[in-house]
Amino acid sequence: MGFFGIRAPTSLRLTMSSAGEPWDHSAMAPSPFVIFKNTQPHDSHPPLGHLILLVFGAVLEVVCVSLPGYIIARLGHFDADKQKFLANLNVMLFTPCLIFTKLASQLNADKLVELGVIPVIFVIQTLVSYLVARIVARCFRFNRRASNFVTAMGVFGNSNSLPISLVISLSQTLKGLHWDRIPGDTDDEVAARGILYLMVFQQLGQVVRWSWGYHVLLAPKSKYEEYANASAEEGRHHGESRGEGETQGLLQSDDIDQGDEQPYVCPPSPTHTDDTQLYEPAGRTPVGGTSRASPHDSEDEHDGAWKVDGKTYPNNLGGANGSLDDHYRDDPDAPIDGILSFPRIRASEELEIPDGIKGIPVRLRRAARKAQLKTSNWLSSTGRRAYDGLPRPMQLALTGIYRVWCKVYKFLWDFMNPPLWAMLFAVVVASVPDLQQLFFREESFIRTSVTSAISQTAGVAVPLILVVLGANLARNTQQHDGGVDPEEKEIGKKLLVASLISRMLLPTLIMAPILALFAKYVPVSILDDPIFVIVCFLLTGAPSALQLAQICQINNVYETVMSKILFQSYVIWILPSTLVLVLCAMEVVEWAK
């Protein structure tokens, strides 16, 4: 007997007919737990020993690519800033190219309809992991803060770097992952579908991770009432001691002032520059392409000029009264005064126009800017007059619709990232046959130029993901220079064991039968896709997400325990865990046929 039909390395096997056909489900009630008998091996995958060797090779490939990053980081040549730069570069460039090439070339509109089952499975996985983590935390008798930490470790698994690498490696290694619903299914199509499934799971996890996980489960210690009271008491004593020190310092300074008079130092002339002088910035640094005057900026009402960020501008740029509004000092990012208003365009900082031909581009830009300003002002005034002419109930309705749209637009813009944009563009291309032919037909010019360049760029994504993964492990598993929290030192081992059980053991034991029943009885075609079943199994027992280490560092939450969890899960337990998960997934695929 074996869990989910995992065969021991003997002659035991599933009940099959003499011709090697699958067993007759009508003869006995189907069950996810099957009994082994002497029959021939499965048709969907190699024998158990060879399958273990193939999975081991796929995992070892991931380890070999990650190991150089780990070693280089340990040697001190791959610090946190470089890791962050490469990770951001991968997210901004290489991963979107990988997603586009894998998805747009293989998918079609029919395959995208049935992806609605993924949020259902995600909710079930999250709920199971949450309940398991809460039960484990209660068994270990943790307080609220430690229980939330274990919950975060159990709920948020890695759905990006490691699963993507494993899926691509397994698609090239295992030959039983081809979907019989797709004629002529290839390894590239298998990898493309696996990446698509992982991307949907990943974005769902990102939303929950950076909202509930960041603000609640891994909140700073000050957010908890019992720790807040202790911190306030400690801060009060620290403030009293600091106040005494300041009082003593003032008394000492008074004694100094009563002594000899300090020598007089001549102020430097306005034309003299001294490196010893303190630099004072002229104004507030613009953020996001905006330019705002600092509180120290002033207007000179006597000489007909106005100053912004230490620069003096003549008061004759336009308008009879020389108002700042005519000089485009309005902030284009400021809140608009109506739902039909348009932001004004600010003037260029270039006040001097070169003579001759060199000044033509500047004049053209200014002319276009003035025309755009006049158009926006006309549209604003026209829209305002039309809005004011509407009945009051209609104005309220339009205002409400506009506010809702602004919130939805802001949420979507904050939620979208380069991989999501790439996935959206790939879905559009895959849904339009003409576009798909334009990008991926062999004799197409776009295929030999743009698509080929994107494919070459995509080849960097997976190796770079794994190299950064190894460097992150090296950085997160190093000893911290700061002192360890006494509470963390006391319950650190318990937190480590509870987190590993809650993430890599119990959720798999509970989700495996659920996924098997889904694959067997839910009438959704992608549940018959072997790579989808493997993706679901990999996510149920995947290690804790690397982003949790970043959140723990930001909020100062059990950083030492977090580093030990990453080392244990990604270095020690990843190989046996992946072997068991892939074997379970393959047996579920065989049983569900």
Per-residue pLDDT of 538-561, as tens digits, reads 999 999 988 888 788 888 899 889
Listed in order, strand segments (DSSP E) in 480-562 are: none
One domain, residues 27 and 51: no
Average pLDDT of the residues in 36-56: 63
Count of domains observed in the chain: 2
Q: Which two tokens stand for residue 218?
A: 């891994």
Q: How many residues are there in the chain?
A: 593
Residue 97 included in any domain: yes
pLDDT band with cut points at 50, 70 and 90 for residue 328: very low
Range of the structural domain that residue 4 is part of? 1-40
pLDDT at 390: 87
pLDDT band with cut points at 50, 70 and 90 for residue 47: confident
pLDDT at 107: 75
One domain, residues 560 and 448: yes
Q: Which two tokens stand for residue 550?
A: 């970043």
Question: Can you give the three-state secondary structure of 331-398, one letter per residue?
Answer: CCCCCCCCCCCCCCCCCCCCCCCCCHHHHHHHHHHHHHHHHHHHHHHHHHHHHHHHHHCCCHHHHHHH
One domain, residues 117 and 196: yes
Nearest by Cα to 501 from 143, 124, 148, 153? 153
pLDDT at 483: 58
The structure's pTM equals 0.63
One domain, residues 153 and 28: no
One domain, residues 464 and 567: yes
The string of DSSP letters for 474-485 reads HHHTSPPSSPPP
One domain, residues 13 and 63: no
Rounded Cα distance between 75 and 470, Å, is 13
Q: Which two tokens stand for residue 106?
A: 């293989």
pLDDT at 38: 38
- Which has more confidence, 197 or 308? 197
Residue 167 included in any domain: yes
One domain, residues 435 and 507: yes
pLDDT band with cut points at 50, 70 and 90 for residue 115: confident
Residue 76 included in any domain: yes
Residue 132 included in any domain: yes
One domain, residues 21 and 169: no
**Residue 3 DSSP label:** G
- Which has more confidence, 127 or 484? 127
One domain, residues 467 and 530: yes
pLDDT at 445: 92
Residue 110 included in any domain: yes
One domain, residues 117 and 203: yes
**CATH number for the domain that contains residue 137:** 1.20.1530
Residue 288 included in any domain: no
Minimum mean pLDDT range among 22-31, 273-282, 469-478, 543-552? 273-282
pLDDT band with cut points at 50, 70 and 90 for residue 270: very low
pLDDT band with cut points at 50, 70 and 90 for residue 106: confident
Residue 120 included in any domain: yes
Rounded Cα distance between 85 and 335, Å, is 33
Residue 138 included in any domain: yes
One domain, residues 581 and 442: yes
Mean pLDDT, all residues of the chain: 75
One domain, residues 20 and 72: no
Average pLDDT of the residues in 145-159: 94
